[in-house]
Structure 1
Amino acid sequence: MDKKIVAGSYGYLKALFWAVLLAFLVKASLAEAYRVPSSSMEDTLLIGDFVLSNKLLFGGRIPFVGWRLPEIRQPRQGDIITFKWPGDHKTDYVKRCVAVAGQVVEIRDKVLYVDGKVFPEPEHGKYVEKDQPLDKSDRRDYFGPYTVPAGTVFAMGDNRDNSYDSRYWGPVPLELIEGKVMAIQWSIAPDDKAPQIDPARFATIPTTVWHSVTHFLGRIRWNRTARGVS
């Protein structure tokens, strides 16, 4: 085999290796993309949004050893954060930090209070469904007062009537917080009319693939591409 070809192949593989390694390190320690799977953050974040989370801000983890880099700062009120669900330490969640350690959270008549003051409502939050009656036995409408423990934050969805959050499963430990959502990279709308693959019918495979390909561009929410969030 020609030595030039061998040398060229080696150089290509070497460059590919370093590129993959760099991408892995960035994903693990600096920034990562997440797909929003639920409506709990509507209308700030929609189902199908792909958001970019800054992991360096709160101290990204070093791959393989799990050590955390020094944090630039801790989560603050109003930050949209990504974290591992305290229930299993595996599932990725996206919520808004509404209170930090030492603050008192209370919900009365669906109004959120932190330290006795009304929490500023998110600009695009869809947090009240007016046709739902108030229920004093439901943590959706009435909660607390509750003091956030040290080393944790209280997280809630902007779509408060449709959010499974700290009201139900408790505060989020700081060590489970991955990063702060900085922007929406791109967004694709769900396709409720997409045909489903039937394992027992091979013909459904090309039909489903063709539908996905021909409808893909039409599902992209171009107005949400490269868009900041707050």
Structure 2
Amino acid sequence: MFRHMLGKTLGLLGYTIQYGCIAHCAFEYIGEFVVCSGPSMEPTIVNHDVVFSERMSRHLFKIEKGDIVIAKSPFDPQMNICKRVIGLEGDKICTSSPSDLFKTHTYVPMGHVWLEGDNLRNSTDSRNYGPIPYALIRGRVCWKLWPLHSFGTLSESPTKRIIKTQTDSDSD
């Protein structure tokens, strides 16, 4: 009797470990569901919207200007941020924070990206903490899943801050 129960318990434990490993690989290499909070991406993504963030683009270095990404916060590694990619390595960014009187120009260093929220007046982003390392990017947001009335792909930036250069359009 004890031997039978031990065998059932170990069998169940084995299946649990196998399915746990499969789930871990799926979330790490395929994608994840993310509940967004905060006003920084309004009107594109609002508080409590559910999005799907795929991971393959990040692993294949296919993140482009205009993409919305989920990244680790440079201030708090326990927290994720959702922002739009405005610039890639080597790009010149013209920006100013709300308190600045003059616009400044910044070059995005190698291995970094420039992120900004769509709601420029209510977003803590690269204008505050500078370019972030590409390694902090967790995935690219490709679908809005909830609420159902706005299900689908995400719209382009309402700020119209993404400017494609000749080299960007050549690679399309």
Give the TM-score category using the shorter length.
0.7 to 0.9
Which amino acid is the alignment partner of residue 79 of structure 1? Answer: D
Structure 1: stretches of 5+ with no match in the other structure: 60-71, 111-134, 187-220
**Conserved in 1, the CA contact under 8 Å of 2:69 and 2:82?**
yes
The structure 1 segments of at least 4 consecutive aligned residues displaced by more than 6 Å after TM superposition are 2-9
State the Cα distance separating 1:74 from its structure 2 match. 3.9
Whose Rg is larger?
Answer: 1
> 2-side partners of 1:54 and 1:142: how far apart?
37
Report which of the two has the higher share of helix. Answer: 2
Q: Residue 217 of structure 1 corresponds to which residue in structure 2?
A: none
Count of residue pairs brought into register by the alignment: 155
Q: Is the 8 A contact 1:152 1:172 kept in 2?
A: yes
Identity of aligned residues (%): 27
Counterpart of 2:149? 223
Q: Match of 1:76?
A: 64
Is the 8 Å Cα contact of residues 143 and 167 (structure 1) preserved in structure 2?
A: no
One of 96, 108, 115 as aligned partner of 1:148: 108
What displacement does 1:37 show? 1.2
TM norm structure 2 = 0.76
Secondary structure of the corresponding residue to residue 155 of structure 1: strand
- Say which of 82, 105, 108 aligns to 2:93: 105
Q: Deviations over 1:72-110 (max 9, x none)?
A: 2242110101111122333200100011111111147x9
Shift of 1:152: 0.6
Q: Tell me which residue corresponds to 1:44.
A: 44
CA contact (8 A) 1:106 1:142 kept: no
Aligned equivalents of 1:53, 1:222: Cα separation in 2: 17
Counterpart secondary structure, 1:86: coil
In the alignment, which residue of structure 2 is the partner of 1:27?
27
Q: Deviations over 1:18-48 (max 9, x none)?
A: 2222112211232122221111001111110
Aligned-partner SS, 1:57: helix
**Where do residues 1-230 of structure 1 align in structure 2 (5 Å cutoff)?**
1=1, 12-59=12-59, 72-107=60-95, 138-139=99-100, 142-186=102-146, 221-225=147-151, 227-230=152-155
TM-score by length of 1: 0.58
Change in Cα spacing, 1:103 to 1:170, as seen in structure 2 (3 Å) is same
Deviations 1:130-184 (A, max 9, x none): xxxxx6xx24x75311111111111000111111110111111111111111112
Give the root-mean-square deviation of aligned CA atoms: 2.7
Supply the distance in 1 between the matched residues of 2:72 and 2:102 (Cα, whole angstroms): 26
Q: Quick check: 1:89–1:176 contact (8 Å CA) kept in 2?
A: no
